[in-house]
């Protein structure tokens, strides 16, 4: 596959993005004024301590929560202006999620967990190919309870990429794993980023993840800033 340096187009642009949670009298300004541009095919890490606003930002990018103020563009479309159907289509076709605790369905085996996701889109990758790609070619019939944490996370990655999403959003994907297994999962995400040329965004509080990133954005108290990597 071509790994040459080509000019990349912006895939996500945030302008003056704000998110305030209101609960009775209490207002929590989770995102204060967030601006960024993320380009097609980048591997971006968003790093920040607990409570800094990482999951809030991921939920907005993933179309899972509403924006309080500002703009968030996917290509030339303002996610903020999507109606319910457009949001569903965006979540289904554009975004693939990987969560800290895998979120696999325990009553389905590996193949079935991935197949269920494949059925959401018109042109998925073959399930067998994807399980092979994440190193689980031999484990199709195993259930989540028969797999280690790292293997379950591989299934979760397969479930996300089988849809061929433009954006792979990973929320603390190594948070429940030991150091060696974390490294393997991050190497897998890096390989997927390069081979499928999809944009990968990983949020974490662990800066050892930086070695895998093209770029790092840091977030603190709902304010985002940019730090170069490498």
Ligand X SMILES: Nc1ncnc2c1ncn2[C@@H]1O[C@H](COP(=O)(O)OP(=O)(O)OP(=O)(O)O)[C@@H](O)[C@H]1O
Q: Rounded to an integer, what distance in angstroms lies between the CA atom of residue 193 and that of residue 43?
A: 7
Task: Give the range of 21-29, 101-109, 127-135, 137-145 binding ligand X by CB under 6 A.
Answer: 21-29
Closer Cβ to ligand X, 55 or 193, answer by number: 55
- At residue 10's C-alpha, the angle toward residues 163 and 58, to 5°, is 60
Residue with tokens 């000019």: 7
- Region label for 53, one of left (φ > 0), alpha (ψ between -120 and 50) or beta (otherwise): left
Closer Cβ to ligand X, 54 or 133, answer by number: 54
Site string for ligand X, 33-52 (x = CB under 6 A): ---------------x-xxx
Q: Rounded to an integer, what distance in angstroms lies between the CA atom of residue 32 and that of residue 17?
A: 7
Q: Rounded to an integer, what distance in angstroms lies between the CA atom of residue 32 and that of residue 53?
A: 9
Q: Supply the minimum distance, in Å, between the C-beta of residue 123 and ligand X.
A: 33
Two tokens, residue 46: 């968003």
The answer to the question of residue 23 lying near ligand X (CB under 6 A) is yes
CA trace torsion 31, 59, 153, 118 (10° rounding):
-160
Q: Supply the minimum distance, in Å, between the C-beta of residue 161 and ligand X.
A: 23
Residue with tokens 């929560």: 65
Site string for ligand X, 153-192 (x = CB under 6 A): ----------------------------------------
The answer to the question of residue 56 lying near ligand X (CB under 6 A) is yes
Residue selected from 6, 8, 21, 191 as contacting ligand X according to rule CB under 6 A: 21
- Interacting residue ranges for ligand X, rule: CB under 6 A: 21, 23, 28, 30, 48, 50-56, 205
């Amino acid at each position: 596959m071509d790994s040459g340096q080509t000019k990349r187009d912006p895939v996500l642009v945030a302008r003056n993005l704000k998110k305030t949670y209101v609960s009775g009298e209490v207002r929590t300004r989770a995102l204060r004024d967030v601006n960024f541009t993320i380009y097609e095919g980048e591997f971006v890490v968003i790093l920040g301590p607990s409570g800094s606003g990482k999951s809030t930002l991921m939920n907005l990018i993933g179309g899972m929560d509403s924006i309080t103020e500002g703009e968030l563009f996917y290509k030339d479309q303002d996610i903020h202006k999507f109606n319910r159907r457009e949001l569903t289509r965006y979540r289904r076709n554009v975004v693939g999620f990987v969560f800290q605790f895998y979120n696999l369905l325990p009553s389905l085996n590996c193949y079935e967990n991935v197949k269920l996701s494949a059925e959401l889109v018109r042109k998925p990758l073959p399930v067998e190919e994807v399980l092979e790609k994440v190193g689980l070619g031999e484990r199709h019939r195993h259930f989540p309870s028969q797999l280690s944490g790292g293997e379950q996370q591989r299934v979760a990655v397969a479930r996300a990429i089988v849809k061929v999403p433009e954006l792979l959003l990973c929320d603390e994907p190594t948070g429940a794993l030991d150091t060696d297994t974390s490294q393997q999962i991050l190497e897998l995400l890096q390989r997927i980023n390069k081979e499928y040329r999809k944009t990968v965004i990983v949020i974490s509080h662990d800066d050892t993840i930086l070695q895998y990133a093209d770029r790092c954005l840091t977030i603190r108290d709902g304010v985002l800033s940019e730090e170069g990597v490498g």
